[in-house]
């Protein structure tokens, strides 16, 4: 039986970041992860960090490489109806975002935990959480060498949508809110120069497209596709041809193509579980909520959860107060729903929907036309994109 103060299930960015922040304040943690370290680092995920996420990673003493290699972006371009408009984050919200791959951030956090002697147990599947209504809950986990357990004061469930944490909360307690979108994103990663120095979001008659990047030499592109699309039916040539047709002409003319490094189709979903605290269990990240990637909020919402949870746990251990732990669910969900709204709105105005009629299409274009011509609308957009205050 391992004994610690905070047991953390999941070694994605939220679990590692929480462990690091608590360690720096003298709070003991143990992280269990059902996958191997290499598997965790093999996941291809988001790469847009809000300014609050950047600050939190720096507070965790894990941002040296991020600050050196990350790309600071001060705006995005929205393309629609044959024209493009850039929204300036500095001018409209006095802010910016950073492009830095989630895989690289995870690697940095793993290295930071290793440097401080953090206890991470890989290939350890958490199978149950007991005693959540008491003072010392227990995480039972299974490894190749048998059954094990962690006794702790609190459990942080950072184990994603399918993990054991949320499923340990009684159905009678949870309210689940979900919207599944009738399309997916076909994404390609390529070792090519990005078509633009900043992200380009495209509303096109053929469907949504996004031009993003991971570095100055590695690009990430997406096109909207049907949910039942077979990724093997998409050759590299077919993908580049489709993307070119959806891009504004100046971007299409600059587009550098090449072999794909990775190609996959991701479904889009909005999901929120309420509450995100049950007894001594606190959910964070995808275990509690999922957003469509259009607004680049998934990783950033996980980081904001970690901000609230780490602050609450530090207050408990340093001052003996349960006040912030008791308000954790309400504090998180207030910000979660605002990010859900922004992600839903971006998804709604930038994609083609199967049931869309001409009226819906005109409303989309009116929304985007208003955004391109209104300082107030651009300020609201920029404020949400760079990240609402924690």
Distance CA 60, CA 151 (A): 25
Choice among 100, 141, 181, 201 that is catalytic: 201
CB contact at 8 A, 294 and 347: yes
Angle, CA 340 vertex, CA 335 and CA 344 arms, to 5° = 155
Choice among 100, 141, 222, 385 that is catalytic: 385
- Give catalytic status of residue 385 as yes or no: yes
Choice among 293, 308, 317, 328 that is catalytic: 293
Choice among 13, 23, 73, 137 that is catalytic: 73
CA 233 remoteness from chain centre: 28
Distance CA 49, CA 330 (A): 23
Which DSSP helix (H) or strand (E) runs through 223?
strand 219-225
Q: Characterize the bridge pairing of strands 277-278 and 2-3.
A: unpaired
Which DSSP helix (H) or strand (E) runs through 26?
none
CA 167 remoteness from chain centre: 21
Instruction: Report the residue count for the chain.
Output: 390
Mutual orientation of helices 102-115 and 13-23 as an angle, nearest 10°? Answer: 30
How far CA 183 is from CA of 150, 200, 232, 303, in Å, comes to 41, 20, 17, 27
CB contact at 8 A, 236 and 188: yes
Residues near 88 by Cβ (< 8 Å), separated by ≥ 6? Answer: 74, 75, 378, 382
Choice among 289, 297, 307, 351 that is catalytic: 297
CB contact at 8 A, 77 and 198: yes
- Give catalytic status of residue 201 as yes or no: yes
Sheet holding 97-99, edge to edge: 48-50, 97-99, 71-73
- Give catalytic status of residue 297 as yes or no: yes
From the list 184, 210, 207, 180, the residue with the least C-alpha distance to 267 is 184
Q: Per the omega criterion (within 30 degrees of 0), is the bond before 235 cis? A: no
Distance CA 70, CA 61 (A): 16
- Give catalytic status of residue 204 as yes or no: no
Q: Is 273 helix (H, G, I), strand (E, B) or coil?
A: strand
- Residues marked active site are found at 73, 201, 293, 297, 385
């Amino acid at each position: 039986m391992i004994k610690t103060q905070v047991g953390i299930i999941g070694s994605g960015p939220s679990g590692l970041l929480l462990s690091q922040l608590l360690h720096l304040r003298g709070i003991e943690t143990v992280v269990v992860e059902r996958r191997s370290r290499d598997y965790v680092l093999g996941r291809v995920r988001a790469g847009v960090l809000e300014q609050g996420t950047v600050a939190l990673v720096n507070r965790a003493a894990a941002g040296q490489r991020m600050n050196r290699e990350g790309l600071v972006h001060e705006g995005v371009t929205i393309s629609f109806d044959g024209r493009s408009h850039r929204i300036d984050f500095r001018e409209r919200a006095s802010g910016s975002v950073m492009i830095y791959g989630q895989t690289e951030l995870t690697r940095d956090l793993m290295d930071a935990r290793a440097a401080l002697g953090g206890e991470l147990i890989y290939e350890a599947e958490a199978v149950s959480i007991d005693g959540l209504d008491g003072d010392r809950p227990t995480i039972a986990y299974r490894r190749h060498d048998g059954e094990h357990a962690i006794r702790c004061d609190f459990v942080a469930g950072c184990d994603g949508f399918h993990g054991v944490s949320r499923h340990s909360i009684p159905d009678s307690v949870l309210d689940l809110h979900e919207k599944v979108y009738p399309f997916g994103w076909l994404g390609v990663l390529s070792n090519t120069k990005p078509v633009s120095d900043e992200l380009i979001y495209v509303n096109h008659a053929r469907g949504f497209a996004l031009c993003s990047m991971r570095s100055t030499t590695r690009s990430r592109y997406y096109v909207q596709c049907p949910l039942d699309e077979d990724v093997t039916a998409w050759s590299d040539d077919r993908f580049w041809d489709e993307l070119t047709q959806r891009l504004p002409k100046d971007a299409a003319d600059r587009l550098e193509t090449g072999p794909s490094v990775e190609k996959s189709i991701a479904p889009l979903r909005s999901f929120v579980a309420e509450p995100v605290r049950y007894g001594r269990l606190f959910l964070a990240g995808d275990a509690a909520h999922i957003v469509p990637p259009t607004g680049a909020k998934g990783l950033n919402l996980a980081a904001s959860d970690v901000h609230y949870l780490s602050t609450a746990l530090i207050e408990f251990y340093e001052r003996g107060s349960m006040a912030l732990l008791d308000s954790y669910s309400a504090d998180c969900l207030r910000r979660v729903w605002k990010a859900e709204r922004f992600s839903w709105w971006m998804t709604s105005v930038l994609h083609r929907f199967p049931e869309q009629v001409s009226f819906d299409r005109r409303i989309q274009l009116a929304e985007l036309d208003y955004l391109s011509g209104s300082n107030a609308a651009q300020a609201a957009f920029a404020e949400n994109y760079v990240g609402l205050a924690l």
